[in-house]
Every structure is written in C-alpha cells, then in structure tokens.
C-alpha cells in the first residue's frame, strides 16, 4: 500500500495554520516544506530502517536540516513485505518539525504550552472514527503472521534489542478511582501476535500509567489499556510532557489545538482514544503477574537490561484503511525522543524559575542534549550583574523542580552560549572558585539509568560560573573586524564556516576610554601617539607586571 499525501489538502507552513488533527495532513505539511523524505527502495525494518534514520542524528546533520523519513517499501528479515508504510521523525526530528506539528513558530512553543495547560478544552465524543475502519479481534489476532506480527514494527537498536518495539506510543489508561485518563509514551515489546510487554516508569512520582497500575493491583483487578500509534502531533506531544497525574492530556491537547479533540470509545475496552488516529491496540494488563522484558536501547544512552514489566493481552487492533505506522528515534541523544522534550521543557523550566519562583535576572534555561538526554545537565543563563542570591535560588529551584532532572546545574552569564561546551568550560575555569561556587546536594534520586550503577541514591552538583566582577575583554578581534574578514573569506570561496559563540571580542566591564582610544589609534595606524602618551607615564621603583591602577589609582580605570 502507498500513501498519496498529495491527495490531502493542507496549507503548509509553521505558524500559518491551526495544528493538524490528522497525522497524514501533518505529513503533507512536512512534504510541502521539504522536510519529509520518501524512501521507495526495499528497507528491512529489522536491520536497516532505524539505523538509516539515525545517521542524520549521528552524522552531523544540522538540526534544522533533519527530516522525517517515510518508508513505502518495508520488508523484514524473513522476506515479508508489509502493506503499511512506516514514518520516523515526523514528530520531532527537529524543533522545526515539532513547531509545524504545533502550528506555531519555535519561539512560541513554550507560551503555547502554558496557555494550553491553563485553558484545556475537553474532547468531544464521536460515534464513527477513521481509526476503527478496520477491526481485528478474536481468532484473527492469533493467526500466524497476523495480529501484532502484521504491523511493520521496527527494531530500534539492531544487535541489542530483544524484539521489535512500539515506541511512538500513547499508552492510555483510566484511573479506577477518578475515571480520569492518562496518556504516556512508554515502550512496548512484541511478545506474540496477541501479547505485548509494556514498560512504564515504575518509581515514586513515576508515570501516570504506573500509578494506575498500582491502584488496580491493590483492587486485584486487571487494567485496561489502549496503545495509540500515529495520533496528531499535538496529541502525541502530551504523552512525554510533564503534566500533573490527574490532568486529562486529551483536554490539554485540545488547548494546544484550539478546539476539542474528537474521541471514540474503543471496540473492546472502556478507554477513549483520538478518533483520527492511525492505529489503536486494545488490551488488558493482568496486574497479578509480570513478565521479563528487554534488553532495549533506552533514551539514557544505555541498553536497558532485562527486567519484569507488565504483560498486555491484546483484545483488538483497529486501524485506518490506509494507515501509516509511526515510530520514533530514541536511544543515544540527540534523537527524536530528546527533541520532543527539549522544545517544551526548556520554556517550562524558565517559566518556573522566572514566574513561579520570581528569580530576577534569569534569561534562559538550556538542557544539554548530546549523550546526556536532557535530564542530568542544566545550564541557567543570567543577565550581567544578577545578584548571587538570585543565582543560587535558581540553581536550587532548577535542581528540585522535577525528580530526576538537574543532577548537574551550571549558572553562566549572558555572554556564554550554553550550547558551546568549550565556552561553558571556559566560564567554569575562569569565573568560578570551586570551594565557594560549587555546592553538593545529597540524598537525590538517581537519573534515568542509575539502576545499572548499583547506587541507591544520588546527589546534585550546583555550580555558579557567572561573571562576579568586571573582567578584561575577550581576546578576539572586535566584531567589525571579524565581520569584514568573514566577507573576504566567503569572497575567496574558502570552506564554509561553522560559527559558534564567542566568535568576536567584547568588553566585560574592565575597560577604559583610554584603552579604547589606544585600540582605535592602533587599527588606524596611529600607534605612535599611544607611545608618546605612555612615555610621559614612565616610573621607577616598580616590579614588572605591576598593574597600572595599583599605581595611578582606580580612577584611571
């Protein structure tokens, strides 16, 4: 089966339309902007599909040039050819793709999330749904090659994963006490044509689905669950978002979309799902038993080892007649998984520090992405002159806002680009005194993956690497001269430049009009005038390297 996205009518352009409530319309938007790449040659889902997409994250492709991949000729290691195409990267291969899914500009995403959380729009129930155009249940689920085996589920980490895994999921469960549904993006391993093993975050303050599972286990009842594959981006984005357990994510998705999300009741269980989804897997989790699950390459950068998790008995699979199977790139970051979190988490952390805690001077929160997967390392950027008390309030606030996030928090001044590791190390080397500016906070829960370290608890390190006093200028040519040199570079056809801050010199407070005059004269060829002035200031009885202001006074500075 092929998907002709051109048949779908859509106005392409991030920020130029309301968010799409249909994944295939979203794919049409991506294709119109050159952000979707069709792969029509045969691709083995078990060995080739995810590795091919992963190269754009590992091969140095700039984030804005990453694309979604639509595989229209999917096979497996047994030679089977699948009718259903597979898309990877359609949610967040880049912040730009995420923004198109939101119908917003990248810089508007944070405020859009805050408005949606504050102004949710409840979903609206419908009786007919495209996600139920095809219904598979009963004995059809158990046929060899049928049921789950009929879906083109890729292997995410070939060579390490124990099974094909559902990754771009919205695992939906219902609280047995309140009736409120929760959606989470949890992995699910294929075990049989009618059985999965679902891994939810099983720790204090963990996933909403896990909280529900605990309640059902206490009641000695099975837990119904629906796994949605291929919902509209604004719905998918709510799964990994940090929302309160009792918040109905479907209503928040409505707030993001600016309209109610159409939902439909599942065929075999009492769970509501987005009516225009591509695929829905319905089932029941027996809360009295657990089944070994994994190994599987996790987003913390390590392979999750075998552990007991929740077995799910599939009761039905429903899907559109011409469905697209959606998967995401996770594992070692940067990845699609980390990008989904990055563009939403950073503005939420900034809002928490600036608006909730009232921290003055905070300008930006940056989560380190490469390899560390956002959670452990946070950078806080401050305006020059921010009081140290505000810096430390922000460091403690960031480290304690969300469990598992902020193991290492580093504060820097506004001239330091947190995305430039070299600049960060420079700031720590020259703007911090470890005995004064480093604080270790004990009794912290470990970051994701800490289970493999053998430690029962962790700690946090807070570093104030901000500029605490006036300092000399950064020793690079001033911007006007670097700009001129770059123009000549390009004129000469020299290799393209990758420009990262800092790329020109700038003052940091310890600079006088006298020295500025000296510098202007030097570039004008009038350096001898400077020599005539300093000749008049010669002195005896001093040691070499004596600072001028020690002798002539601070008023000279």
| CA pair distance 363, 96, nearest whole angstrom | 22
Tell me which residue of 473, 480, 467, 551 sits closest to 512, measured CA to CA.
473
In Å, what is the CA distance from 469 to each residue of 23, 267, 339, 437, 509?
Answer: 52, 66, 36, 14, 8
pLDDT of 476 over the 90 cut: no
CA 31 – CA 92 distance, rounded (Å): 14
In sequence order, the 6+-apart residues with CB closer than 8 A to the CB of 233 are 19, 20, 23, 26, 90, 91, 98, 101, 102
**pLDDT on residue 171:** 96
pTM of the model: 0.83
Q: Is 536 exposed, middle or buried (0-12, 13-18, 19+ CB in 10 A)?
A: exposed
Best CA proximity match to 121, nearest among 246, 248, 265? 248
Report d(CA 525, CA 520) in Å as an integer.
9
Name residue 264's beta-bridge partners: 273
> Which percentage of the chain shows pLDDT scores above 90?
67
Beta-bridge partner residues of 273: 264
pLDDT, average across residues 484-503: 89
Q: Average pLDDT in the 264-288 region? A: 98
| Residue appearing with tokens 């027996």 | 286
387-424 burial, b if ≥16 CB within 10 A, otherwise e? eeebbbbbbbbbbebeebbbbbbbbbbbbbbbeeeebb
Digit-coded pLDDT (tens) for 457-470: 789 999 999 999 98
- pLDDT value at residue 370: 78
How many angstroms separate the CA atoms of 2 and 83, rounded?
8
| 172 touches 166 (CB < 8 A) | no
pLDDT value of position 50: 93
The domains of the chain, with CATH numbers, are 5-327 (2.30.110.10), 357-464 (3.40.1670.10), 479-556 (no CATH)
Average pLDDT score over the chain: 89
Q: pLDDT per residue over 51-104, tens digit each?
A: 999 899 888 788 889 999 999 999 999 999 999 999 999 999 998 999 999 999
- Of 46, 72, 44, 66, the residue nearest 54 (C-alpha): 66
For the chain, how many helices (H) and strands (E)? Answer: 15, 26
E strand residue ranges, 300-390: 303-304, 307-319, 325-327, 362-367, 377-382
- pLDDT number for residue 475: 84
Tell me the C-alpha distance between 481 and 523, whole Å: 10
Output the pLDDT for position 499. 87
Give the pLDDT of residue 554.
Answer: 56
| Per-residue pLDDT at 451 exceeds 70 | no
Q: Residue 204: is its pLDDT beyond 60?
A: no
List the end-to-end C-alpha distance of the chain, in Å, as a whole number: 75
Strand ranges for 122-253 from DSSP E: 124-125, 134-137, 165-166, 169-174, 181-184, 187-192, 195-199, 223-229
User: What is the reported pLDDT for 269?
Assistant: 98
Per-residue pLDDT at 432: 95
pLDDT at residue number 266: 98
- Cβ atoms of 62 and 96 closer than 8 Å: no
pLDDT digits (tens, 9 = 90+) for 380-418: 999 999 999 999 999 999 999 887 788 999 999 999 999
134 within 8 A of 318, measured Cβ to Cβ: yes
CB 350 within 8 A of CB 109: no
Q: In this prediction, what percent of the chain has a pLDDT beyond 70?
A: 93
pLDDT tier, 14 (very low <50, low <70, confident <90, very high otherwise): very low
DSSP 8-state class, residue 347: H
The residue whose two tokens read 């155009």 is 133
pLDDT tens digits for range 502-513: 889 889 988 999
């Amino acid at each position: 089966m092929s998907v002709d996205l051109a048949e779908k009518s859509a106005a392409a352009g991030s920020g130029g339309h309301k968010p799409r409530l249909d994944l295939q319309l979203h794919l049409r938007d991506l294709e119109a902007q050159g952000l979707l790449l069709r792969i029509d040659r045969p691709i083995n889902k078990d060995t080739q599909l995810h590795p091919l997409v992963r190269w754009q994250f590992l091969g140095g492709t700039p984030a804005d040039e990453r694309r979604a991949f639509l595989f229209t000729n999917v096979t497996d290691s047994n030679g089977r050819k699948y009718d259903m195409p597979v898309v990877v990267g359609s949610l967040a291969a880049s912040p730009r793709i995420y923004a198109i899914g939101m119908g917003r500009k990248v810089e508007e995403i944070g405020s859009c999330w805050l408005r949606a959380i504050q102004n949710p729009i409840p979903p609206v129930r419908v009786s007919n749904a495209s996600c139920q155009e095809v219904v598979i249940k009963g004995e059809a689920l158990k046929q060899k090659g049928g049921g789950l085996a009929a879906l083109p589920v890729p292997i995410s980490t070939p060579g390490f994963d124990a099974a094909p895994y559902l990754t771009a999921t919205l695992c939906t469960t219902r609280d047995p006490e309140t009736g409120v549904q929760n959606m989470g993006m949890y992995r699910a391993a294929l075990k049989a044509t009618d059985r999965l093993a679902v891994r939810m975050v099983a720790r204090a303050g963990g996933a909403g689905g896990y909280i529900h599972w605990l309640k059902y286990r206490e009641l000695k009842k099975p837990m119904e669950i629906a796994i949605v594959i291929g919902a509209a981006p604004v719905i998918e984005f709510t799964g990994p978002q940090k929302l309160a357990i009792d918040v109905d994510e479907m209503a928040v998705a409505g707030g993001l979309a600016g309209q109610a999300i159409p939902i439909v009741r599942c065929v075999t269980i009492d769970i509501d799902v987005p009516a225009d989804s591509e695929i829905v897997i319905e089932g029941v989790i027996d809360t009295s038993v657990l089944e070994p699950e994994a190994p599987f390459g996790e987003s913390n950068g390590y392979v999750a080892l075998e552990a007991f998790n929740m077995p799910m008995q599939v009761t039905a699979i429903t899907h559109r007649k011409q469905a697209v199977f959606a998967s995401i790139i996770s594992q070692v970051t940067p990845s699609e998984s980390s990008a989904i979190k990055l563009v939403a988490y950073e503005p939420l952390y900034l809002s928490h520090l600036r608006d909730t805690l009232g921290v003055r001077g905070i300008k930006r929160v940056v989560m380190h992405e490469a390899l560390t997967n956002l959670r452990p390392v946070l950078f806080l950027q401050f305006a020059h002159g921010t009081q140290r008390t505000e810096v430390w309030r922000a460091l403690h606030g960031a480290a304690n806002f969300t469990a598992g996030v902020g193991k290492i928090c580093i504060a820097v001044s506004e001239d330091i680009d947190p995305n430039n590791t070299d600049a960060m190390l420079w700031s720590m080397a020259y703007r911090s005194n470890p005995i004064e500016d480093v604080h270790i906070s004990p009794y912290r829960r470990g970051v994701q993956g800490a289970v493999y370290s053998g430690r029962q608890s962790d700690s946090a390190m807070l570093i104030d690497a901000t500029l605490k006093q006036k300092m000399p200028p950064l020793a690079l040519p001033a911007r006007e001269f670097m700009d001129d040199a770059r123009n000549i570079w390009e004129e000469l056809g020299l290799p393209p430049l990758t420009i990262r801050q800092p790329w020109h010199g700038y003052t940091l407070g310890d600079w006088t009009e006298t020295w500025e005059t000296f510098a202007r004269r030097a570039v004008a060829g009038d350096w001898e005038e400077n020599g005539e002035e300093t000749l008049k200031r010669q002195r005896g009885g001093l040691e070499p390297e004596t600072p001028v202001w020690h002798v002539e006074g601070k008023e000279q500075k």
